[in-house]
Structure 1
Amino acid sequence: MSNKPILGVLLGNSAGVGPELVAKLAVMDYYKDYCRPVIIGDMRMFERGLQVVGGDVPHYTITDLTECDWDKGYPVLDLKDQDPEKVPYGVADVYCGASDLHQLDTAVDLCKAGKIEGFLFGPFHKGAMKMAGMHVESEHTYLAEKFDLTTPFCEVNMMDDLMTVRTTSHIPIS
């Protein structure tokens, strides 16, 4: 595992399914085939995600990536910014949107510092992120700005021999 890239795994929006998706993939031991994951978000939300999916994995809190030891389980860079008792589940909310931005900013900073080689994330809520101060249309544009990207960019999804690119963006159903 030591030759695999260190990737940040962001929990995504606490009011949505992000923490459960991240937890489910951890329970399935999915990440180990591809990377050395560092979960980024509030530890309590990761643990709630584990509870929701009915599973558990060894995990521990870190404050710095030098503390990662994947033999001990999943390192969680605990942002301590989401109390599960205060999350308005299923609703766009500034509290959760602020955490979305915090997760992205943390991952960007870690990438720029060379501490992680990339990151992936559970679903964010663009509306909640805008409530929390995001001034652009999406997390993709937000990331392009954070990385000072001036060339064209887009979302590309790849799996095996299939590659898709987004031609439209989705809007919330409710």
Structure 2
Amino acid sequence: MKKALIAVTMGDPAGIGPEITAKALADEATFDYADCIVIGDKKIMEQAIQITKVPLKINTVSKPAEGKYEFGVLNLIDLNNVDMSGFEFGKVSGMCGKAAFEYIARAIELTNTGETDAVATTPINKESLHAGNVPFIGHTEIFAALTNTKDPLTMFETNGLRVFFLTRHVSLRKMLDMIKKERIEDYIVRCLEALKRLGVNDRQMAVAGLNPHCGEHGLFGDEEMKEITPAVEEMQAKGYPVTGPIGADSVFHQAAQGRYNSVLSLYHDQGHIATKTLDFNKTIAITNGMPILRTSVDHGTAFDIAGKGIADAVSMVEAIRLAAKYAPNFKKI
């Protein structure tokens, strides 16, 4: 069977992105999962290969179709956008922020045109993006803008557990104000559609509870009674395969055991703690709701260890694996 072709962005040159890219592509498991084309800078990738001591040869190409997809070969589209005289590991740099943005933009372009099947991204640095006058604060915002997507959905997956987030980067106080019936209904529809586009149609989606024991009929909070349960019941009446609310102390375990195809987490840490406790290194972010498929490691640039060759590539291997897993069934908007 033909393998999916994944565009891998090198990430911030001053971070661990180049190293985990090199290590991942030197892993036979990655080669078994997918064919990969790296978008980055040849000078940085040569340095990463030397630092990590992996047996890779760089094959520079201008487009994915020119790649030699053989084990031991790192196919690279070289944007040649890093001036080594001004380069330093582990430092915020406008040059590196701008370069990282350009790798992402090219990967999106290649996947939009069908030259690659999906994108797997390595870490970028928000401060470096700002220093490079890139008008976005992170990957999701870049992908949203460059794919004309209004509100991308983030889904985490680790060891078969899939988690969506009703709210993310807001305070707990503000999160409580966002737990509204209409918002929950909207997310149920969008999350189930995202799963369908990934080819996931089995079992039900579960909505996590908010309060201890889902509020115990108002004893410990009334959000379940007023907002969450009415939303779930209305969506059930419309035929959507969803259940809940189910106590957050059990729903993630149940989903990991296969009872549910996914969980709608109500706030950031509720879902992050569940997935990262299950398997921190293999928790992968999948950005849904876009015309293209994107997966990503869920860790940062690790400036403190960049250039030392000790960065763990497990997450990068997993990000490529999931991109390849979903790419054949992914349905474009």
TM-score between the two structures when normalised by the length of structure 1: 0.87
The worse-fitting range, judged by mean Cα deviation, of 8-17 and 65-74 is 65-74
Residue of structure 2 equivalent to 1:8: 7
Residue of structure 1 equivalent to 2:63: 64
CA-to-aligned-CA distance 1:58-97 (integer Å, 9 cap, x gap): 3311012221121372211111112444312111110101
Q: Which runs of structure 2 are paired with 1:131-170 in the superposition (5 Å)?
A: 131-150=131-150, 152-164=151-163, 167-168=168-169
Residue of structure 1 equivalent to 2:49: 50
Q: Which runs of 5+ in 2 are unaligned?
A: 170-267, 269-298, 304-333
Contact 1:126 1:139 in 2 (8 A): no
Deviation at 1:145, TM superposition (A): 1.0
Residue of structure 2 equivalent to 1:115: 115
Q: More helix by proportion, 1 or 2?
A: 2
Partners of 1:124 and 1:37 in 2: CA distance = 19
- For 1:33, the aligned partner's letter is D
- Correspondence 1:26 to 2:25: yes
Residue of structure 2 equivalent to 1:104: 104
Contact 2:59 2:68 in 1 (8 A): no
User: Could you say what secondary structure the match of 2:114 adopts?
Assistant: coil
Larger radius of gyration: 2
- For 1:41, the aligned partner's letter is G
Query: How large is the RMSD of aligned CA atoms in angstroms?
Result: 2.5
Partners of 2:49 and 2:37 in 1: CA distance = 16
Deviation at 1:154, TM superposition (A): 3.3
User: Could you say what secondary structure the match of 1:38 adopts?
Assistant: strand
- For 2:28, the aligned partner's letter is D
- For 2:160, the aligned partner's letter is D
CA-to-aligned-CA distance 1:17-37 (integer Å, 9 cap, x gap): 110111111222342122110
Partners of 2:44 and 2:59 in 1: CA distance = 13
Partners of 2:143 and 2:42 in 1: CA distance = 24
Contact 1:140 1:154 in 2 (8 A): no
The worse-fitting range, judged by mean Cα deviation, of 65-74 and 7-16 is 65-74
Contact 2:5 2:118 in 1 (8 A): yes
User: Could you say what secondary structure the match of 1:40 adopts?
Assistant: strand
Partners of 1:107 and 1:87 in 2: CA distance = 23
Pairs aligned (count):
172
Residue of structure 2 equivalent to 1:40: 39
Q: Percent identity?
A: 19
